[in-house]
Amino acid sequence: MDVQKFIQQLPNFYENWEHETVQPKSDQFQQRLEQINPEVSVNFMQLLNVAVECLEASEMYCEVGTQDGISLIAALLGHPEKMAYAVSEISDNDSLEQLVENVQLFNLEEQIIFCNQDFESFLLELREVETDSQIGVYYYQALSDYRSVLMSLLLVRPFLANQAIILVNSADKGTVQQAIWDFMAAYPQCKILLDGCDSINLNQILGTEIQVLSWNAEQTFNYSVSNFQDQQSEQVIHAIQSLQQLEPEVNISQIYNEAINSHEQKQYKIAEQKYKKFLQWQPNHAEAWHQLSILYYEVENYRESVQAILKSLEIDSSIAVRHYHLGLGLERIEKYSEAITAYQTAIELDNSLVYAYQNLGNLIKQQGSLTEAEAIYRKAIEVNPNHWGSYLNLGNILLEQTHFEDAIAIYQTALTLNPEAVEVQQNLNLAEAAKENPAPIYYTFAQQYYQQGKYNKAIQFFQNYLELQPGEVELYATLSDCFNQIHQPQEAIKVLQTGTQVHPTSGQLHFSLILQLLRQGETEAAISQAETAFNYLPNDYTFKLLKHLIVPIIYHHPESINYYRKRFEQELQTLIQTTRLETPAERESAFWGLSRWTNFYLAYQAHNVVESQKNYGNLVHNIMAANYPNWVKPLTIPKVEQKIRVGYVSHYLHSYSGTLWLTGWLRFCNHNNFEVYCYYTSNTPDPITQIFRQYSDIFHHIPGNFAAVCQQILDDQLHILVYPEIGMDAPTMQMAALRLAPVQCTAWGHPVTTGLPTIDYFLSSQLMEPENAQEHYSETLVRLPNIGVAYPQPKDIPNLTKSRSYFNISEDSVLYFCCQAPFKYLPQYDYILPEIALNVPNAKFLFLRGTILIPRLERAFAAASLNHENYCIHLSIPERSDYLMLNLLSDVFLDTFTWSGGNTSLEAIACNLPIVTCPGEFMRGRHADSFLKLLGVTDTIAKNEAEYINIAVKLGLDSAWRQDISQRMSQQQDNLFEDETCVKALEEFYRQVVRNSQ
């Protein structure tokens, strides 16, 4: 933890610093957290937030004594890359649910590891966990007795980062102060933060209840003897010295009996207290631990239930039912393999324990081992032939195996044992019906397996169904998705082809089939399918649009680019001429057709698409004007009374490459002059969404309601509306074709002109744009300084903890990282990789999601007399931490021609990975070029393809040069990330455009 940075930055976050009226500059805690707890100390919440911001990438925030989650929320707010431990023993379900609800309100649950246990157990168990994470900020707000405070400090010490901050609550109590000073006496690496410093008085910020300590493992601070003597509490010390082993004043057996009675009467809180009191005197009473475990299970505190039963088993592991109860708890916390072991142990100790058989069989069945599960149920019947539940389970598994007659016989036996068993009678009816017509039960099982993510089993039952009769539309859609989930796209295509033959007027199946064909590079087949769909559904504008405007996602040959470019231009004119908007039905169909499709892939052809975009943009505008005539009229810019109102609307205000950069514009916004409105139209919020919410004055989350979003924007009477990206999300493009604000802008989230007559300005980058850039835009081009965005410094770059072998990559290879989306790779540049391979022994090219490129790569490598399989590695996209790890493990990042990497290049730079790039004709091909220029590391920028190859080869062969490039990139990163220069220029542009419009 950067303690010095924390000290330096802290005053910047407060008004009236060094005065009694000190308060945070931002009202985010006042507005958001007071709704949960009105008594919250906003000063302390702000301090916590600043402290967490100063954590290193591998460090965590740890909080002991979490209650309503306020301090957790305050610490993590706006820090989506940070993780936290929350440790608290909460046995009350209502309190636990409220804590979770509060955290979920801010979408922070994915950042928090909840540990519902006492802090001693947590910190002792943490010793057994292999983790590279250290604790950089530790906040203790649990019990304030001397032992608890001291033990918390002693136990957390091994997990503290080299530099850390410790915050202790209830510091105005003598027991707490004595524990703190005793800890500092034993560990001089700890001291009171800013002790003796006049520049910052933390008591003015926090009051006397919070003590802030600093920890530095590499330095010591020796307080004088008099300091320690002055801080001693005679009262506390005397109390400690007076401690003696006290005999219980009450009968121990009576306490235990009271616990049992309270438990039986479901007085859980009282029973828990009495069990614990009894166990203080009898800690080795195995049955008391067992009963406490049962209590925790009944109140749904499953983790504590498991902990209690484990203590019981440590004392005496010979009782079968205790292992059974352990299995119950482990199931609830989803530790299924351990639960299986517990049930097996229970059966070994007592083979008559019929419920252990039931639960064991259910878990084995859940794993897909039906035959083994059947054997377990039969064993249960053998052990206890009068237990009807065993017959029910056996009948169910026989039914699932389509042994209908056997299942019927078993269900009938169960009914003789329990004629009132409704579930048995229902399943018997199902089995008898399935014997006559198994199709419905096949469909039921297929859907169940699909929902469970067991796609192979779902496929089996869907196919069994289809052998008997054709399916409904939903069946073909679901079955095709099953094949996609197990990476068999051609089988998915076959299913959809069959589905469209059975249901030729199903727009859903036709649309899915067209997209599936496109994703597999079968462009002509997709066009043909669109024509077929249009023939069956001539009034559905979706297929009219598709049959005219489809372009490939992947081009197989360079000459096909020009072919499809010309086809698009010709077909677009035909579409414009044949689009009819006279009737309400025609207008509505055109609207819904546009809502499902954009011309996203057109610009990947590496041509100037401004005329095509203008023609398409006018078509979109005309359709939207026909549907919403009142929302295309010119708007007068409102008078600026206090602040300029700027709105940002996007489907992607979450973790997404097209908008991640936008957080910097909002973060560094001058809220004294501008009022920021955000409109989030998707429904997948995450921690990045919370950042947008945090830096907005007004945040509207309106998913899936086009008209409501438009109306809200109009109601807010913005001066300026900005679309961070236009062209990726179809409804966003429709919205942009309206006039919802007097001034409307877009930016380079999708770095292509929109062609829309309703978008006035394109907010771009001075470094990225060529001299003739205005020729590429229908909008007025605005060149913001440097790269045009204040891109956030990635703070989640991991330590290098994995090797290449973890990813099945040879350790001795020269690894070139090729991580762009497949559609960015154009066929005319395929020869470059084999050219590099011919000159670099052990060259490997690592692709993510690039399997669709394999046929092209095979041809390119074969043309150089090389085998593609010896050089190219194809992985699926990993989790973010592993993606960044691959950046760290790679030697060279190969940028794509004509469409450069944006976020990927910035993340590579954050990992100090050398980038080879060649700037293209358009801004979209010049991202990495601009980043490297701003860094001042231009050695790896090529002027042409030949130079690109030479640089890539030299980097592969010369490890010293690679290291030099990497080192220089590392030293200059402050020039690139979080550059506020562009924000000041952006706001000046906003002011100017408003002045000019009034």
Residue 542 is predicted with a pLDDT of: 97
- pLDDT for the residue 207: 64
Query: Which whole number is the average pLDDT over 249-278?
Result: 89
Q: Which of 32, 505, 440, 116 is nearest to 296 (CA)?
A: 116
pLDDT in tens, 706-732: 999 999 999 999 999 999 999 999 999
The pLDDT of residue 22 is 80
Instruction: List, by residue range, all CATH 3.40.50.150 domains of the chain.
Output: 3-241
Calculate what percentage of the chain has a pLDDT beyond 70.
Answer: 95
Pairing of strands 112-115, 134-140: unpaired
Helix (H) / strand (E) element for 893: namely: strand 892-894
Q: Are 76 and 52 in contact (CB under 8 A)?
A: yes
User: Up-side HSE of residue 880: CA atoms within 13 Å toward CB?
Assistant: 13
Q: What is the mean pLDDT of residues 327-339?
A: 94
Which uninterrupted H or E stretch holds 590?
helix 584-594
Please report which confidence band the pLDDT of residue 32 belongs to, taking 50, 70 and 90 as the band edges.
Answer: low
CATH 3.40.50.11380-classified regions of the chain: 644-784
Look at 12 and 314; give whichever has higher pLDDT.
Answer: 314
When pLDDT is cut at 50, 70 and 90, the band that residue 91 belongs to is low
As assigned by CATH, the class of the 3-241 domain is alpha beta
The Cα–Cα gap between 114 and 362 comes to 28
Q: What are the start-end ranges of the H helices in 830-879?
A: 832-839, 854-863
Residue 176 parent element (H or E)? helix 174-186
Most confident stretch, 33-47, 216-230, 333-347? 333-347
pLDDT for 24: 83
Residue 248: is its pLDDT beyond 60?
A: no
Question: Mean pLDDT across the stretch 114-118?
Answer: 87
Q: Which of 243-247, 439-443, 611-615, 644-648 has the weakest average pLDDT?
A: 243-247
The three-state DSSP-derived secondary structure of 446-470 is HHHHHHCCCHHHHHHHHHHHHHHCC
Helices 320-332 and 336-349, packing angle to 10 deg: 170
Q: Average pLDDT, whole number, for the chain?
A: 92
Q: How many helices (H) and strands (E) does the chain have?
A: 45, 21
Contacts of 490 (CB under 8 A, 6+ apart): 520
H helices present in 77-137, as ranges: 93-105, 119-126
Question: Cβ of 453: how many Cβ atoms within 10 Å?
Answer: 10
The pLDDT score that the predictor gives to residue 198 is 41
* Per CATH, domain 252-350 is 1.25.40.10: yes
What CA–CA distance (Å, rounded) separates 660 from 656? 6
Span 9-21, average pLDDT:
78
CB–CB of 598/546 below 8 Å? no
Q: State the Cα–Cα distance between residues 180 and 186, nearest whole angstrom.
A: 10
Q: Tens of pLDDT along 209-236?
A: 889 999 999 888 888 888 888 888 888 8
CA distances, 980 to each of 183, 654, 659 (Å)? 43, 22, 17
Pairing mode, strands 674-680 and 644-650: parallel
- pLDDT, average across residues 321-332: 96
pLDDT for the residue 196 = 43
CATH class of 644-784: alpha beta
What's the whole-number mean pLDDT along residues 52-59? 89
Domain with CATH 1.25.40.10 in the chain: 252-350, 441-600
pLDDT at 159 exceeding the cut of 70: yes
Reported as a pLDDT band with limits 50, 70 and 90, residue 29 is low
According to DSSP H, which parts of 384-488 are helical? Answer: 388-400, 404-417, 422-436, 439-451, 455-468, 473-485
Interatomic CA distance for residues 12 and 573, integer angstroms: 58
Q: Does 70 score more than 70 pLDDT? A: yes
Give the β-pairing of 211-216 and 190-192: antiparallel
Average pLDDT value for residue range 751-756: 97
Strand locations in 58-210 (E): 59-64, 84-87, 112-115, 134-140, 160-168, 190-192
Higher pLDDT, 989 or 655: 989
Residue 479, CB-side half-sphere exposure with 13 Å CA sphere:
29
> Distance between CA 881 and CA 21 in Å, rounded?
43
Whole-angstrom Cα distance, residue 50 to residue 176? 25
Left (φ > 0), alpha (ψ -120 to 50) or beta: where does 865 sit? left
pLDDT over threshold 60, residue 250: no
CA distance 872 to 834: 10
> Would you place residue 199 in the very low, low, confident or very high pLDDT band (cuts 50, 70, 90)?
very low
pLDDT for 35 beyond 70: no
Which of 34-38, 284-288, 667-671, 858-862 bottoms out in mean pLDDT, i.e. has the lowest? 34-38
806-977 CATH fold: Rossmann fold (3.40.50)
Which whole number is the average pLDDT over 745-770? Answer: 97
pLDDT digits over 760-799, tens only? Answer: 999 999 999 999 999 999 999 999 999 999 999 888 898 8
Cβ atoms of residues 624 and 734 within 8 Å: yes
pLDDT in tens, 824-878: 999 999 999 999 999 999 999 999 987 899 999 999 999 999 999 999 999 998 9
Q: What are phi and psi of 216, to 5 degrees?
A: -135, 105
More confident residue, 573 or 849: 573
- Mean pLDDT, rounded, for 914-943: 97
For 6-20, 345-359, 509-523, which range has the lowest pLDDT when averaged over its residues?
6-20
> Per-residue b/e over 301-339, b at no fewer than 16 CB within 10 Å?
bbebbbbbbbbbbeeeeebbebbbbbbbbbbbeeeeeeb
670 pLDDT band, cuts 50/70/90, is: very high
List pLDDT tens digits, range 393-437. 999 999 988 899 999 999 999 999 999 989 999 989 989 998 999
Q: What is the CATH number of domain 441-600?
A: 1.25.40.10
**Rounded to an integer, what distance in angstroms lies between the CA atom of residue 608 and that of residue 921?**
9
Distance between CA atoms of 995 and 513, rounded to whole angstroms? 51
- What's the Cα-to-Cα distance from 835 to each of 558, 840, 891, 950, rounded to whole Å? 18, 9, 17, 9
CA distances from 967 to 150, 624, 892, 909, 971 (A): 44, 52, 14, 11, 6
Three-state secondary-structure class, residue 816: strand
